[in-house]
Amino acid sequence: MSDSPHHPAWFVVLLSLCCCWTVCSPRPHHPTVPGTQPTQIHLSYTGSPTSMVVTWSTLNNTASMVEYGQGDFSLRNSGISTLFVDGGKKHNAQYIHRVVMTGLKPGFRYIYHVGSEESWSAIYSFTAVQDDTNWSPRFAVYGDLGYENAQSVARLTKEVQRGMYDAILHVGDFAYDMNDKDGEVGDAFMSLIQPIAAYLPYMTCVGNHETAYNFSHYINRFSMPGSHGKDMFYSFNIGPAHIISINTEVWYLDEEGSKDKVIRQREWLHKELEAANTPEQRQKQPWIILMGHRPMYCSNVAKDCIMDESFVRQGIPKQGMPGIEDLLYKYGVDLTIWAHEHSYERLWPVYDKMVMNGSMSQPYTNPQAPVHIITGSAGCKERLTPFVPNPKPWSAFRLDDYGYIRMTILNSTHLYLEQVSDDQDGVVVDSMQLIKLKHDSYSTRSYSGSRRDL
Ligand SMILES: *[C@@H]1O[C@H](CO)[C@@H](O)[C@H](O)[C@H]1NC(C)=O
Ligand SMILES: *[C@@H]1O[C@H](CO)[C@@H](O)[C@H](O)[C@H]1NC(C)=O
Ligand SMILES: *[C@@H]1O[C@H](CO)[C@@H](O)[C@H](O)[C@H]1NC(C)=O
Ligand SMILES: *[C@@H]1O[C@H](CO)[C@@H](O)[C@H](O)[C@H]1NC(C)=O
């Protein structure tokens, strides 16, 4: 397009028409698809390799059908729709459809379309999750992705469509915010991520930008496994990993019943970790990975980082609300992934504010505490969060630019992750190999003799 002087006349006419179209014409307020047309199509994993959930929206109340198969539409399932009304003045309404695709052959590629006899979507595809604990699943991991300034979306879309990942982990904060403009920002965001989320399981975690109207946008728009519904915590197995998603907002609600919510989640997490940490279970899923939106440790210029104590880590003792760091230590959680701060930070293995390296030269080989990573800079209108100048000794690497993590669980002993900088055109700016020859409680090991009883 550099030889502009030689453009034919039609090009100039076309160009001016285009300019006029964008500059002079009013933007339609609503998308111009018929009310029966499926929009905002996204997948989520059920936890069973033979099934996958697809979720979408329509303005009209239509049937909820999906046709799918290995290169054809030989399979067909129907599901349910629920009417979701935004809490804003306009009471914008949409039907949210959920259908489980069942009978999948693990590891095989499927095509599908969704809709009803009134309107069908385009064709999408996905690969059924493998049913093999020796498989090496690959994830893109990030938090804090908005509709405006969604910087990493283009790169992620390209990489997802090239087959670089098996699932996404979105560690809280969507759209900024899904309820904004009477929910239209949520609709626009879900359409923005459709070219990602229609092709692989888009697994989520709730963040502080989802609190409006009792988290109803988050609860209605996503379909995570376990159906803990309003509690918004859940877990699933994938390959050699057990992945847990928690709700860190319970410590910040500041409303009646918050304490019950904190305690209910802790009790659930306790049982959950106990079950995941039995020798038989850890034989199958050696890696326990926990994601939550607000970090326990961080070194940004932000209230959560500057406060003396993290609520998530230590709870709010004055109000009888426990934190959860002791559980992560006791049950040998390998990796924790957080967001909320709009930056990337990797920590040395840490427990109770103490660095607990595997060894000085190989801190991530058989570490003696969980490893924490913060990745909250996929891109949003709030831009980046600066760092404090002198981080604590647990901070290993920090970078204040836009990007996301690629994580591969190589096998039962090796996990690799790297941070991609979108600002630097996709350059890998940091990486870590976590090596665990044994996965179990940290508190039963000899060095922990002096630690308080957990
Ligand atoms: C869709 O819903 C609108 C509003 O309720 C209604 O006017 C229209 O007839 C419906 N269209 C179809 C195809 O059902
Ligand atoms: C939120 O939940 C509370 C308690 O369940 C309820 O009283 C309140 O009406 C709900 N608010 C909205 C906006 O749904
Ligand atoms: C942990 O390991 C890193 C990297 O070798 C080192 O810089 C740091 O000082 C170690 N911290 C402690 C407390 O051993
Ligand atoms: C696990 O992967 C690492 C890195 O690729 C490799 O060095 C190691 O031998 C593998 N271990 C097993 C048990 O396959």
Residue 264 C-alpha to ligand 4 middle, in angstroms?
39
Residues with CB under 6 A from ligand 4: 410-411, 413-414
Residue 36 C-alpha to ligand 1 middle, in angstroms?
8
Whether residue 330 sits in one domain with residue 389: yes
DSSP state of 226: T
Residue 367 C-alpha to ligand 3 middle, in angstroms?
11
The Cα–Cα gap between 133 and 286 comes to: 9
Ligand 1 lined by 35 (C-beta under 6 Å): yes
The Cα–Cα gap between 234 and 207 comes to: 14
Query: Among 312, 287, 303, 307, which residue's Cα sits nearest to residue 440?
Result: 287
Whole-model pTM: value is 0.91
Whether 247 is covered by a domain: the verdict is yes
Whether residue 156 sits in one domain with residue 120: no
Whether residue 244 sits in one domain with residue 186: yes
Ligand 2 lined by 213 (C-beta under 6 Å): yes
Q: State the greatest distance between any 2 C-alpha atoms of the chain, in Å, as a whole number.
A: 83
The DSSP string of 375-422 is E--SB-TT---PBPSS--TTEEEEE-SSEEEEEEE-SSSEEEEEEEET
Residue 387 C-alpha to ligand 3 middle, in angstroms?
20
For residue 285, give the CATH number of its domain.
3.60.21.10
> Which numbered atom of ligand 1 lies nearest the CA of 35?
1
For residue 98, give the CATH number of its domain.
2.60.40.380
Whether 411 is covered by a domain: the verdict is yes
Burial of 125 (0-12, 13-18, 19+ CB in 10 A): middle
The last residue of a domain, from among 81, 99, 127? 127
Burial of 89 (0-12, 13-18, 19+ CB in 10 A): exposed
Whether 65 is covered by a domain: the verdict is yes
Whether residue 169 sits in one domain with residue 75: no
The Cα–Cα gap between 261 and 246 comes to: 12
As for how many domains the chain has, the answer is 2
Whether 54 is covered by a domain: the verdict is yes
* Domain residue limits at 67: 39-127
pLDDT per residue, tens digit, the chain (454 aa), is 333 344 444 444 444 444 444 444 444 455 578 999 999 999 999 999 999 999 999 999 999 999 999 999 999 999 999 999 999 999 999 999 999 999 999 999 999 999 999 999 999 999 999 999 999 999 999 999 999 999 999 999 999 999 999 999 999 999 999 999 999 999 999 999 999 999 999 999 999 999 999 999 999 999 999 865 677 999 999 999 999 999 999 999 988 889 999 999 999 999 999 999 999 999 999 999 999 999 999 999 998 898 878 999 999 999 999 999 999 999 999 999 999 999 999 999 999 999 999 999 999 999 999 999 999 999 999 999 999 999 999 999 999 999 999 999 999 999 999 999 999 999 999 999 999 999 999 997 654 333 333 3
C-alpha pair distances (Å), 339 with each of 193, 194, 266, 382 = 18, 22, 20, 14
Ligand 2 lined by 87 (C-beta under 6 Å): yes
> Which numbered atom of ligand 2 lies nearest the CA of 213?
13
**Which residue lies with its CA nearest to atom 7 of ligand 3?**
360
